[in-house]
Structure 1
Amino acid sequence: MADNEKNEGGGLLRSSSVVGIMTMLSRVLGLVRDVVIAGYFGASGSADAFFVAFKIPNFLRRLFAEGAFSQAFVPVLSEYRSQRDLAAVQQLVYRVSGALGSVLVLVTLLAVLGAPALAALFAPGFYLAGGEKFALASDMLRITFPYLLLISMTAFCGAILNSYGRFAVPAFTPVLLNLSLIGSAVWLSPLMETPVMALAWGVMMAGAVQLLFQLPFLARLQLLPIPRPNFRDEGVRRILKLMLPALFGVSVAQINLLLDTVLASFLQTGSVSWLYYSDRLSELPLGVFGIAIATVILPSLSRNHASQDPQRFARTLDWAIRMVLLIGLPAALALAVLAEPLIATLFHYGQMTDRDVLMSAMSLRAYAFGLLAFMLIKVLAPGYFSRQDTATPVKIAVRAMVANMVFNLILIWPLDHAGLALATSLSAFLNAGWLLQGLIRERVFQWQTGWGLMLTRLLSASVAMVAVLVLIQMQLGDWLEAGLWARVQWMALLVVAGVGSYLLVLVVMGLRLRHLRS
């Protein structure tokens, strides 16, 4: 049994590493994408309009597809795999794809027809101000919203592949979105009367490409989705029952970020863009590590629950929390210490001004404060969803959203856009704390041995890393005045020195790779 647990721990680490590497590639290209967008459009009114038009379907995608749907679908699919034959699994895939697709087609048609109303709902500041920015956001939303249909079906395909251990393909798929947007900005925007409109077309094209990319891999599993809507099917009904409350439970962070956009639309021009650029940087460690670990443990937790193995279930959760702390704490500290240098190195070109760098760095520090909580939410929520419990996370999510709105109203006046980011971080800590408290209270999660030693290693290594970064980084004025290659070289030195000092202290204090496998 010990060997089996060790093998499973090693498998989780390997799978997390595969997803992390692929996601890292995607996020690095995502940063390149944002560098290109910043260079071409800066923090202008047209950039604000695009970010709103892109954020609305992207938010709904995370809410319906990658969020609530995946968390409801994977446990049911895992149960079908373990207890039924391939034909039953195929029928489930056909009927779920038909039900999901038919709903998404209807939602997309309504959104395209009512794009101005939708833009006014999510960016009321644009609507009240009137003028070109609101009209541009509405026009682009008609083009970007069909992305929801395409990317949701892509996420459905990815959930099947993840359940069968094919983690690399779904993790690589977002690379295609970044390539589409980079190509649209560089080659398509000069050809268009309104250059920023090229980005909207790039979003739609990316949705189609990502969906088509995954279909051959599903065909190899004999699970190519052939839509056959059937809302009366037992599996479909179970998934819908789990999904409806999970709409809030799994995506509270995204809802909070969207509320930030709504309030930011009332602030000075550039506020939406500053929040976007800083959020993108905070999303890098969250996506590469937090979401990677969560993606890998959900099928494992679902199998542990189906096989009635509560001890292994608890150990899997404990392992996930340790991995999040080991990566999330130094990542958050590094983002806070290097906020201005990172923004300057990545975005301070073309239309991006010195003031944009400073404003974006303010909100980046606020997001960095909550990074650990964002990552913990990603790995704690599967502790509920794998047991097909969606009611508890809903209650927690509603409380967290109410807290976020209160924090928003308190902090937006003294801190402007940075106050919105800080409110999101504070509510994330409440969300994570309540999730953990519930798992402990239900005796689903139990602390394993070795936490004292791990925390000592973690804190010592983090302090050493921060000291090294503070000692060797340049003054802010030097970062703003330096050229591209000087910034890149100095940032590379900081990254190597920070990572190196952190790992060195961990190794000196006795941490070994075998400790991460079990």
Structure 2
Amino acid sequence: DGGEAPGLGAFLARAAAATAVLTVLGAALGLVRDQAIARYFGASDASDAFLIAWTVPEMAATLLIEDGMALLLVPAFSLALTRRAAGREPGQPDTGSAGGTGEPGDGKAASAEGPGPDPVRELVAVTLPRLCLLLTAGAALLMAGAPWVVGVLAPGLADPGLAVDCTRLTAVTVLTFGITGYFSAALRAHRSFLPPAGVYVAYNVGIIGMTLALHSVWGVRAAAAGVAVGSLLMILTQLPTFLRLLPLARPRLRRPVRRGRRA
């Protein structure tokens, strides 16, 4: 349809511009994060311990946010949206995609009230709880096996206990990055690109804030705790839009009240 092409092009241009701005901002905050850690801990056993623990979120981000989760879930959500559109009654408007500017809250919650269940809600109900259980188990195993992980990554480390503590704090990202990647895939399939693009801004803000606030009390553990806090902020950045576009509970329809006839 020639009438839709200009609107789609403008939407993609705005989404690309917003994504680029947030990506640059996230990278700049990453530089500030590195400078803060270097300033407070320098070249020391503490910074070595943090760098070992930093291996966990670096690997988790690649697998759960940037590559693996997107490759699996974006096609799944796109297929569910296609099934939803195919199951709508003729003339029923499509409210399942964000459209618009790609900003949080730009789209409306899906309302597939056809004869069958909503494929998107079904997908979330089946996959999200199981994914959370799997990721929670993985994070718990990593926390329990942190001494072994540190021994493999840095044999002969001067202070392995500090590295173990930091690794256990950053192990939270196995769960939080997985949920972040899930939300990002779902929102991108709904054409909502701004919240996923802002996750690394929130992440680095959490690390910088915790490092500045608690480095004198917790030492380098403050930076590791900042990784955990920042990863939670990544979820919170996307959660409102996710709940708006993919409500977990089907809204109840109010039945009309029948009034009896007067004699």
TM range (shorter): 0.7 to 0.9
Quote the residue 2:132 is aligned against.
101
Q: Residues 231-279 of structure 1: CA distance to partner in whole angstroms, max 9, x if unpaired?
A: xxxxxxxxxxxxxxxxxxxxxxxxxxxxxxxxxxxxxxxxxxxxxxxxx
Instruction: Give the distance between the partners of 1:88 and 1:169, measured in 2 at CA.
Output: 23
Q: Would you say the 8 A contact 1:218–1:224 is kept in 2?
A: no
Return closer, same or farther for 1:225/1:37 CA change in 2, 3 Å cut-off. Answer: farther
Query: What are the superposed Cα offsets for residues 36-92 of structure 1, whole Å, 9 maximum, x if unpaired?
Result: 112112233321221220222331232134311211110121111012254111110
- Say whether residues 1:213 and 2:237 are aligned partners: yes
| In 2: Cα distance, 1:43 partner to 1:14 partner | 43
User: Does residue 39 of structure 1 match 2:63?
Assistant: no
Q: Does 1:169 align with 2:192?
A: no
- Give the distance between the partners of 2:190 and 2:76, measured in 1 at CA: 13
Q: Tell me by how many angstroms 1:224 deviates.
A: 4.4
Structure-1-length-normalised TM-score = 0.40
Query: Number of matched residues?
Result: 219
Structure 1 match to 2:18: 18
In structure 2, what residue type is equivalent to 1:148? Answer: V
Residue in structure 2 matched with residue 131 of structure 1 by the alignment: 158
**Gap regions ≥5 residues in structure 2:** 88-111, 113-117, 251-263
In structure 2, relative to structure 1, the CA distance for the partners of 1:11 and 1:209 (3 Å cut) is: closer
Q: Is the alpha carbon distance of 1:4 and 1:221 closer, same or farther for their aligned partners in structure 2, counting shifts above 3 Å?
A: closer
Residue aligning to 2:144: 113
Change (3 A) 1:225 1:143: farther
Instruction: Answer yes or no: is the 8 Å Cα contact 2:180–2:234 preserved in 1.
Output: yes
Deviation at 1:9, TM superposition (A): 4.5
CA distance in 1, matches of 2:248, 2:39: 41
User: What is the one-letter code of the residue matched to 1:131?
Assistant: A
Gap change, CA 1:26 and 1:209, over 3 Å in 2: same
Question: Residues 3 and 217 (structure 1 numbering): CA distance in 2 closer, same or farther, change over 3 Å?
Answer: closer
Matched residue of 1:16: which SS? Answer: helix
Instruction: Give distance in 1, aligned partners of 2:21 and 2:237.
Output: 19
Q: In structure 1, how many angstroms separate the alpha carbons of the residues matched to 2:248 and 2:32?
A: 33
| Structure 1 residues 186 and 221: alpha-carbon distance in aligned structure 2, compared to 1, 3 A threshold | same
Retained in 2: the 8 A contact 1:180–1:203? yes
Residue identity in the other structure for 2:163? A
- State the 1:163 CA deviation: 1.4
Cα deviation, residue 120, structure 1: 2.7
Name the CA shift for 1:9/1:216 in 2 (closer, same or farther; >3 Å). closer
Distance in 2 separating the partners of 1:56 and 1:220: 31
Alignment of 1:59-70 (within 5 A): 59-70=59-70
Instruction: Give the aligned partner of residue 119 of structure 2.
Output: 88
Equivalent residues of 2:45, 2:158 under 8 A apart: no
**1 or 2, which has the higher helix percentage?**
1
CA distance in 2, matches of 1:204, 1:169: 19
Consecutive unaligned residues of structure 1, counting only runs of 5 or more, are 227-518
Q: Is the 8 A contact 1:101 1:153 kept in 2?
A: yes
Distance 1:180 1:224 in 2: 28
Q: What is the CA deviation profile of residues 161-185 of structure 1, one whole-angstrom value per residue up to 9, with x for unaligned ones?
A: 1111211112112222211111222
Q: Distance in 1 between matches of 2:248 and 2:57?
A: 25
Given candidates 207, 220, 224, the residue that maps to 1:196 is: 220
Structure-1 separation of matches of 2:17 and 2:6? 16
Q: Percent identity?
A: 31
User: In 2 relative to 1, CA 136–225 (structure 1 residues): closer, same or farther, beyond 3 Å?
Assistant: farther
Q: Do 1:112 and 1:142's aligned partners in 2 also have CA atoms closer than 8 Å?
A: yes
Q: What is aligned with 2:171?
A: 145
Give the distance between the partners of 2:24 and 2:129, measured in 1 at CA.
Answer: 32
Task: Out of 9-18 and 20-29, give the one that drifted further.
Answer: 9-18
Q: CA RMSD in A?
A: 2.3
Task: Give the equivalent residue in structure 1 for 2:258.
Answer: none
Q: 1:165 is paired with a residue of what secondary structure?
A: coil
How big is the shift at 1:101? 0.9
1:14-49 alpha-carbon deviations (Å, 9 max, x no partner): 321111111222222221111211211223332122
Relative contact order (alpha carbons < 8 A, sep ≥ 6): 1 or 2 greater? 2
Tell me, yes or no, if the aligned pair for 1:57 and 1:148 is still in contact at 8 Å: yes
CA distance in 2, matches of 1:222, 1:77: 11
Q: Is the 8 A contact 1:176 1:209 kept in 2?
A: yes
Tell me if structure 2 keeps the 8 A contact 1:80–1:88: yes
Structure 2 length-normalised TM: 0.75
Counterpart CA distance in 2 for 1:130 and 1:54 is: 15
- Greater shift in the superposed pair: 38-47 or 103-112: 38-47
Name the structure 2 match of 1:55. 55
Query: Following TM superposition, by how much is the alpha carbon of 1:153 offset from its aligned partner in structure 2, in angstroms?
Result: 0.4
Q: Which amino acid aligns with 1:40?
A: Y
User: CA separation of 1:43/1:8 partners in 2, compared to 1, >3 Å: closer, same or farther?
Assistant: farther
Alpha-carbon separation, structure 2, partners of 1:203 and 1:151? 11
What do residues 273-322 of structure 1 show as CA deviations (whole Å, max 9, x unaligned)? xxxxxxxxxxxxxxxxxxxxxxxxxxxxxxxxxxxxxxxxxxxxxxxxxx
The 3 A distance-change label for structure 1 pair 93 and 66 is farther
Distance 2:248 2:21 in 1: 26
Q: Is the 8 A contact 2:64 2:177 kept in 1?
A: no
Q: Out of 173, 179, 182, which is 2:208 matched to?
A: 182
